Chain A
Amino acid sequence: MIVLQTNASSDWAIFLGHFHPVVVHLPIGMLVMAAILEWFSRRKNLQTLQPAVAPILFTGSLTAVLSCIFGYLLSSSGEYNEDTLFWHQWLGIAVAVISLLVWYLKVYWQHIATMKKVYLPTLYIMVAFITITGHLGGNMTHGEDYLYANTPEPFRSMFGLPKRTATGSATRKIENIDEALVYQDIIAPVMEQKCWSCHNANKIKGELRMDQQDLLLKGGKHGAIIKANDPANSELIKRLLLPEEDEHHMPPKGKTPLTEQEIALLHWWIQQGAPFDKKVSQLKPDEKVKPLLTSLSSGNNAQENGESISAVFKESVSAANEEDIQKLRALNVVIMPVANGQHFLQANFVNAPNFDDAQINLLNNLSEQIIWLKLGRTKITDRSMVVVAKCKHLTHLHLEHTAITDAGLAQLQELQYLEYLNLFDTKVTDSGIQSLAKLKSLKNIYCWKSKVTKTGIQALKKALPHVEIHTGWEETTQVSTKE
């Protein structure tokens, strides 16, 4: 079982060490405040602020010293990357020393001309040091990419960051499951998503690193966590299976737990000897794991135990103008936010079958907000697509039973969030759907009773391999022969 530390002094050290994050924000706030006050008080009308600077500097530097002590105790747990820790530690100590110096300069050496000149630059150096130290500290606690992981567009592409994925899932679709490497393609992605953030080169919780094969096998401060062929006695599996309230449960409270399927896969991998170089076909899949493996290859991600939510909900738009909405309501259009507190709109024209190209301009002012647009069975034609194309956040577009043709479809190439496109019972042809090749979010296209043929579908599938193109049920023959 879990060996608990009995060394009393070390207990005290870690206990106090955990107060480092509590105390550390005091010097940051106070010392920066001192600098700000100093700067403001140079102005004549704010000179009265001047006497506040020295006491704030003093308390700030005292808390900085305290933070250093707590920080040193925390670092004794050995859970952090040594490089980052080195710089964080020494810069932190530097901040404490400089802040004391600044305070001394401020209170006792203002009458010496040279010292007075040194004061301001030192103050600014101190602020710079605080910034760097704080950033390094943040990197150690939250992970290297925490600060910029959610950078929005267009800054994202400006700094060359990779595009965000809609679900944030690390598990990827595997083309050929038999040829997939069990560790690299199945196990590692799970660990990457759920374990590595605390057990990596920068943050070595429990002296355990899981991001490298040899270190994963070596284990942490309580010894090995994987016993090949014996998952029931592997600390890794034991910890995963503990009740969520248990303090030894992994991942700890507040982090996303592994799904049952993920645990089943890890269990199976350990049972098979925890190999790093075997392919799926080389191991014996048991009944439980088989469907999980197939679902990995079908892209139907059974591992992902959460809802897939469109990336459009990460964008923010302003609320639509109520007048514009009322104009559509007057035409019997069902239009309202997709949910309470959302500015995105859904618009359903089921009660407005006579809606046509002349009225489509009413959508112009709502083009930012509309994400679900159900224009099926209305009298719109290709001419309306100019306006529809402006609705750049669309995820669902219904054009079934309308007079739309390839020319109209060709205008929809900028709808980067479009997941669902209904072209059932339209005159769209093979060349029309080829113009959808750029719409990478597309998941389902419905073109039953259109002029789309198998050739067209195959061509589009080359550009969008994951899209499902529905052409009506052909299975009838297959089923009716069973009778």
Chain B
Amino acid sequence: MKNLQQELLFEKLRYETRRHFLKQCTTGLGMMAMGSFLQSCGSTPQNTVASAANPLAPKMPHFAGKAKSVIYLHMAGAPSQLELFDYKPDLMKLDGKDCPPSFLEGKKFAFIRGVPQMMGPQAQFQQVGQSGAWVSDKMPYLQSVADDISFIKAMYTDQFNHAPAQLLLHTGSARLGRPSTGTWATYGLGSENQNLPGYMVLTSGGKNPDGGKALWGSGFLPSVYQGVQCRNQGEPVLYISDPAGMSRDLRKSTIDAITEINKESYEEFHDPETLARISQYEMAFRMQTTVPEVMDITKEPAYIHEMYGTQLGKESFANNCLLARKLVEQGVRFVQLFDWGWDSHGGGSEDSDVANGLTKKCSTVDKAITALIQDLKQRGLLDETLIVWGAEFGRTPMAENREGKAAAFKGRDHHTEAFTVWMAGGGIKGGYSHGETDPVGYVGIKDRTSVFDLQATIMHCLGFNHEEFTYPFQGRNFRLTDTSGKVIRSVIA
């Protein structure tokens, strides 16, 4: 009986022609068109619908934020907080002893199995600056600028694998599909320099972060707000320079001709998207001259190269730091640096341990980060540029014992319950420390700070109330911090 019914339905559909379909659709399609028509007639609240003519035009925040730009330094792989900023002398006393069962009951780790042993800090610590912040000898340069930094020491997350943890940190969700922090910032504030992209991404360390391009993706926001990833060697942006034989004049007349056609099209159909297209062509034309100029660090004086420790012609984090400064100086809104290779498991080679390996890795970023802070400061830019340093999670106070066997070198596993992130510059206090972990650095015991709190604080520095900064999608309003997040008031200057 059921089969008969299905067959009937099928036969009926077979006789439905395209003509029938279109006829039946009149109401459906008509209503859809009506819907979009009505929407464009209605009064649209500020900051929810971007201006069609120029989506990157500068826009106003909720209140006057202190930071105009953000430089986010992400150490992909997650360096150990216990060797850098979270000094735990008591952990040394437990070095080599079995981990107490209370740390393991009901917990899941990425690689630790059975009962691991505790491992003391593999670095010398000292209190530096007037603020007396603890910074280890792995970051000797950074010690000199500790008074410009607010450390957030009891960060926690709920993802113990790199990719989801990075996604959670940058997009507010461990799954794909949400806009990144930089996208929200550019969407909300636009870009001041109309000849450069508003959101740029620079990578180093030999690999892209595990979370991939989604970490700077635009999610459900218009794709014009996604991060523009620059290549780390050779031409930073592909196809930006004219091909051989193409003169600037010829290019200009091409663009002019296209604009002419687009204008005719606009006059006929009045589609605002056409105007957007016109402005994008023109911006691309302007970018052809600005981008190579701004992205060229070779023209910087020698002492600046010395200060950052750049390596010309190579892929390097120091080059990217210098580039970040140049971009911010030109009014780029959000610059994100990813440096790969901080995953100190202690297996394989010595380079992956938290003792010598981490020291080596730190030496490739320490000087450059310090130079970035100082260079921004001497140019008067640190005041309006927020610098965030951190990773997707922290590392365990226990030594790693993959598959129950002790690691070859001194390694630590991924740890979600405690890690350190620091902020400096625009709107942030200097020489301050927020939050505290227990005596072995296993879990935050005071002022625990979630990744949403961090996102809320970044938004606050830019002048946004993260709870009101929303975008309607699939029937509800979405925001970066989704349903949680509290601004870390005590680090705000």
Contacts and interface: CB of A to CB of B under 8 A. Distances in A.
Contacts of B492: 306-307
B429 interface: yes
A444 B383 contact: yes
Nearest to A351: B194
B258 interface: no
Interface stretch (A63-71, A152-160, A237-245, A474-482): A474-482
Nearest to B46: A340
Interface stretch (A36-44, A84-92, A331-339): A331-339
Size bin of chain B's contact surface = 35 or more
A351 B378 contact: no
Contact of B193 (A340, A350, A476): A350
B379 A400 contact: yes
Interface stretch (A129-137, A220-228, A297-305, A433-441): A297-305
B200 to A, nearest CB: 16
Nearest to A473: B374
Contacts of B430: 300
B131 A295 contact: yes
Contacts of B378: 424, 446, 448, 470-473
A264 to B, nearest CB: 11
Contacts of B427: 307
Interface stretch (B56-64, B106-114, B207-215): B56-64
B379 A424 contact: yes
Nearest to A297: B130
A472 B493 CA distance: 22
Interface in B283-325: 307
Given A294-B130, A420-B383, A473 B330 contact: no
Given A475-B374, A479-B144, A398 B380 contact: yes
Contacts of A354: none
B331 interface: yes
A132 B431 CA distance: 51
A314 to B, nearest CB: 13
Nearest to B374: A473
A308 interface: yes
A340 B493 contact: no
Nearest to B370: A479
Nearest to B194: A351
A291 interface: yes
B144 A422 contact: no
B431 A337 contact: no
Nearest to B433: A291
A175 interface: no
A260 interface: yes
B193 A351 contact: yes
Nearest to A313: B64
A338 B132 contact: no
A420 B193 contact: no
Contacts of A348: 58, 192, 331
Contact of B375 (A290, A307, A344, A473): A473
B132 A422 contact: no
13 contacts: A260-B490, A295-B432, A302-B432, A306-B489, A313-B64, A339-B65, A344-B64, A351-B193, A351-B331, A420-B380, A471-B378, A473-B307, A482-B140
